[in-house]
Amino acid sequence: MIKKDLVIIGHGIGGSVLAQKALGRGLSVLVIDQNFELGSSWIAGGLLHPMVFKRLTLAWPGLEESMACLEYYQNLESAAWHPGPLVRRISTLDEAHRWEKSTMDPHLTTLLTILDEKVPKGISTSFGWGRVELGGWLDVPLFLTQNWQALEAKGLTLSYHLAAENLDSYSPILTIPKYEAIEYKHLVLATGISAPGWKVVPSLGEIPFYGVKGEILDLWLPELELETIVLGPLFLVPLEEQGMVRVGSTYEREYTDSQPSVTEAHKMLSQLGTFLPFLANWSKEELFARVRGHRAGIRPAARDRRPYLGPLGDNKAGAPPGTLVMNGLGARGCMVAPYAAELLLDFIQWGIPIPPELRCTPRRCSTVTSD
């Protein structure tokens, strides 16, 4: 019988970061995933920054925690992490006032600046540009591939689609055909929402996650000479290959499938036309011909925009003892994952309670919670 402290189901950004951090703490780990290219993380734009731009305030979980998350990626010294400031288009007078106010706020003054110059070139703005000093982007597919390979080299992965019949509701033992039985102390369901069979434990379906479909385009646009990440109605990320730009992303609460759609691609391209004046005279076809990649995925979201972390709470019917959840990472999953992983591991190792706002409490799991 194989014995593990932690068996993690799902190697998206959540499961991947959790596995790395657990190993760093000396825990024994096994990661099971059918195919991590099916997850939402494989699609993600991978942008990281600590702001909510609508209100120009700090996003959850706060500045210190966000800095620790960014430091985590920085310390990996992986080619997947591209640190750097982000430039945000200021498009209304209201926004311009908010930027002026926020740059004088002692909590934000080192984080936000208003740019004097007309940068970035080739992109229209009505009220100038603001800059966020802390941020960057993560090449998530590269990050996941590197992590999986590192785990695989140590014999800590299993490519398998886990189903309810592999679990025993009464004992912490996994039985997988043609594989030795695995006894674990904790089983973490980091299954996202996009892959088939994500409700490994059917009661996971009682937690009110919802999916938000998103699409992303990779474009060949050397004319733009993009040097920094630009945020506007869409984000623009300069990719490693000269002239390639990643553009995203859409937010669809109502969707019928997880496939890239030509209609959404055209919507993004016409939005891009209003953002990049040099495209004004380009035909739809000319612009479409510049698409080199088009991906879609489903973000696992929660109404209160906080992940679900820890024991399944009242939703544990059919779940074996020691089952924990790490899901609902939302639109900022890459940013939130390192922090969520630390909290979960503190709970596992030291019994430190998970903050109530992240637990699967009956109140949070009630489907009548308002937006």
Ligand X SMILES: Cc1cc2nc3c(=O)[nH]c(=O)nc-3n(C[C@H](O)[C@H](O)[C@H](O)COP(=O)(O)OP(=O)(O)OC[C@H]3O[C@@H](n4cnc5c(N)ncnc54)[C@H](O)[C@@H]3O)c2cc1C
Q: Which residues bind ligand X (CB under 6 A)?
A: 9-15, 32-36, 38-41, 43-48, 161-162, 190-192, 194-195, 197-198, 200, 214-216, 248-249, 297, 299-300, 327, 329-335
63 three-state secondary structure: helix
Taking the complex as a whole, the smallest distance from the CB of residue 96 to ligand X amounts, in Å, to 25
Nearest CB to ligand X, comparing residues 46 and 172: 46
Indicate the DSSP class of residue 305.
S
Q: CB of 122: closest distance to ligand X in angstroms? A: 22
Tokens 């055209």, residue located? 266
Comparison of 128 and 260: residue with beta carbon closer to ligand X: 260
Nearer to ligand X, 83 or 197 (CB): 197
Q: Which pair of structure tokens corresponds to residue 110?
A: 């080192």
DSSP assignment string, 86-130 = EEEE--SHHHHHHHHHHTTSTTTTTTEEEE-S--STT---SS-EE
In whole angstroms, how close is the CB of 308 to ligand X at the nearest point?
A: 10
Report, in Å, the least distance between residue 104 CB and ligand X.
28
- Looking up tokens 């006894």, which residue turns up? 183
Counting every residue written for the chain, the total comes to: 371
| Least distance CB 118 / ligand X (angstroms) | 26
Rounded to 5, what percent of the chain is helix, strand, coil?
Answer: 30, 25, 45
In the bound state with ligand X, the residue whose beta carbon lies nearer, of 34 and 102, is 34
Smallest gap from Cβ 33 to ligand X, in A, equals: 4
Rounded to the nearest whole angstrom, what is the least distance from the CB of residue 117 to ligand X in the complex?
Answer: 26
DSSP string, 242-288: TTEEEEE---BSS-S-SS--HHHHHHHHHHHHHH-GGGTT--HHHHH
Residue (93 or 317) nearer to ligand X, CB: 317
Nearer to ligand X, 128 or 312 (CB): 312
The residues, ordered by sequence, that sit 6+ positions from 115 with a Cβ below 8 Å of its Cβ are 87, 128, 129, 130, 131
CB of 135 to ligand X, least distance (A): 10
Question: Looking at beta carbons only, is 268 or 276 nearer to ligand X?
Answer: 268
176 class by beta-carbon count within 10 Å (0-12 exposed, 13-18 middle, 19+ buried): middle
C-beta of 102 vs 157, nearer to ligand X: 157
Which residues have CB under 8 Å from 139's CB, separation 6+? Answer: 46, 79, 80, 81, 82, 240
The secondary structure element, H or E, covering residue 346 is helix 333-350
